[in-house]
Structure 1
């Protein structure tokens, strides 16, 4: 059984294919197993991994494959040599706290000057939507000029939006993409609002909110993700608008704030979920629900407690915790 970081990384990069599909459009650092293995990390990279192994392991949620995360980190670090070690650590820890793997599928760590920055892909948003436990399925797509489609927002779902793509046609015959869309089916069978974005909408979002795009324009590097992966950023803009109109989670809200901070060239780590504080919040919510249940006579097994204030339900002020923080 592989226990050390080196063993886990080696096992991850030498493992047999898992049947996963081909590389996705927005993959920046994703490579085939052969090409990943061909990259020999230098001594500095391995020292970095050894030094911060425990930090990453503690930050990662339990459901994330640790070996896959470390294999991705091992692959991406050689591309960040011009970035400061502090920014590398902050970007990777932010990614770990979100439970995303920086493999180009869910997230990318890219160099903005000498600063390493986390850029979540639209699939990273979809992943966190699924993890919220409130979503059954998420659909993100592009409508091309010669596809069959209709959009009537006032019609009842699912008749308000239909899309019949033509994958049988060559790309040239399908025409240019004209719309990005996103919607989801929620637990219980309801369908969300359909978010539809034109190219003009996406360009307005880019011009208004992306400092990374403006910097790349001003310097002439043209290397922002809006330059190099426009269609994926277009889709991500649609999924981000969807995130505002569906039941969400603290992690998903944090991801949006982290994404915005990266675009603005600001610190991201301060916005990342803290595993310890997340546990304390969850514990407080459970305690609150339990307290509410004991005062609700309508719930089987509950005990009605006397409430001050003329029969109105109220909440007493929380007492100060003594003896240190609860863990």
Structure 2
């Protein structure tokens, strides 16, 4: 039986070094279905040991991460942040983990829990940009001077009067002298920014009911977690963070948009829907895109017991489909 989890694959990759020109498929996907018996035994490693092996496997593709990352982020710093989350990702398919990390790297975000997270969805790894990741990309647009996102608690001092002139339309004075319990539960999430021109943006204000409506309507990950009974989506485990992130997601629609910020929102939505994210990442090169498509196709097939009878997904061609058919007709003649 072919190995389909990262834990098993990394042992295969680190036990026997791949050729210098091997791609991720050659290391991560076992198309022959033959695996040495000792790998099945070794693949039982858990926790830190499995994470260390996974990190060693990822380091073999350091050149790809270096190429994807912006110059101000060192690949060692990036992989060090990845190391902390690897114990929870060892059952993910290698192809999906590499895609998720490449997507994260191409946006110049570090998966440190603040800017981004790599999350497990079944056997797939998913890149999830967090609120601070959206803030980071807003700053990079060059037209945003400062971004403010926060939560109003029950006993905070605040006012919201949309018809009043800016900045008097919204004020918030957190009661920081009180304990968390004394401040009370969060009642509003808000976000706004000051542009470099000195103008303040519209203030986005969401109450809990608004956040729940956004969750119920748009989050497929939440619905999947509900239906499976696992209740392990971020809406289940970190509701307040997703509440604040929703305010930022709405804010980016009313502030100057960069192509990178638009792409981040699309990658975020694709991940929530269980779709390939790397195609939305900026500056994607053709060979990496083709590799991601093929790796995703193989990863899906490895989960399906009827994979041998499933018709493979069409792949992107370098030439128009019509010219390909014409060349085949010519060959038959």
TM-score (norm 2): 0.69
Q: Which position in structure 1 is the counterpart of 2:154?
A: 145
| Residue 75 (structure 2) pairs with residue 69 (structure 1) | no
Which residue number corresponds to residue 189 of structure 2? 180
Cα separation, 2, equivalents of 1:275 and 1:131: 19
Could you tell me how far apart the structure 2 residues matched to 1:188 and 1:229 are? 35
The offset of 1:47, in angstroms, is: 3.8
Shift of 1:273: 0.9
Aligned mate of 2:117, from 95, 108, 113: 108
1:162 equivalent to 2:171? Answer yes
Bigger helix share: 2
Q: Partner residue of 1:261? A: 270
Assess, with a 3 A threshold, how the Cα gap between structure 1 residues 173 and 184 changes in structure 2: closer, same or farther.
same
* Aligned partner (choices 80, 92, 96) of residue 105 of structure 2: 96
Q: Which of 206, 210, 213 is matched with 1:204 structurally?
A: 213
Q: State yes or no: 1:273 paired with 2:273.
A: no
Q: How does 1:115-126 map to 2 (within 5 A)?
A: 115-126=124-135
**CA–CA distance in 2 between the matches of 1:153 and 1:259?**
30
Aligned mates of 2:76, 2:236 — CA distance in 1: 32
Unaligned runs of 5+ in 2: 1-46, 287-333
Change (3 A) 1:221 1:42: closer
Aligned partners of 1:41 and 1:74 also within 8 Å = no
Residues of 1 paired with 2:170 and 2:180: CA distance?
23
Structure 1 CA distance, aligned partners of 2:113 and 2:98? 18
Structure 2 equivalent of residue 233 of structure 1 = 242
What is the aligned partner in structure 2 of residue 318 from structure 1?
Answer: none
The runs of 5 or more residues in structure 1 that have no matched partner are 1-37, 278-327
- Spell out, residue by residue over 1:215-249, the C-alpha distance to the aligned partner (whole angstroms, 9 max, x if none): 11111101000000000000000000000000121
Runs of 4 or more above 6 Å deviation: none
Q: Secondary structure at the match of 2:256?
A: coil
- After superposition, residues 33-52 of structure 1 pair within 5 angstroms as 39=48, 44-52=53-61
SS at 1:207's partner residue? helix
1:96, distance to aligned residue in structure 2 (A): 0.5
Say which of 251, 257, 267 aligns to 1:248. Answer: 257
Distance 2:140 2:48 in 1: 32
Q: Is the Cα–Cα contact under 8 Å of residues 90 and 269 in structure 1 kept in the other structure?
A: yes
Shift of 1:39: 4.2
Indicate if the aligned counterparts of 2:54 and 2:90 stay in contact, CA closer than 8 A: no
| Native 8 Å contact 1:59 1:97 kept in 2 | yes
* Equivalent residue, structure 1, for 2:138: 129
Post-superposition shift, 1:172? 2.2
Matches within 5 A, 1:1-80: 39=48, 44-80=53-89
CA distance in 1, matches of 2:243, 2:51: 36
What is the SS of the residue equivalent to 2:92? coil
CA RMSD between the two structures: 1.7
Q: 1:264 to 1:57 in 2, by over 3 A?
A: same
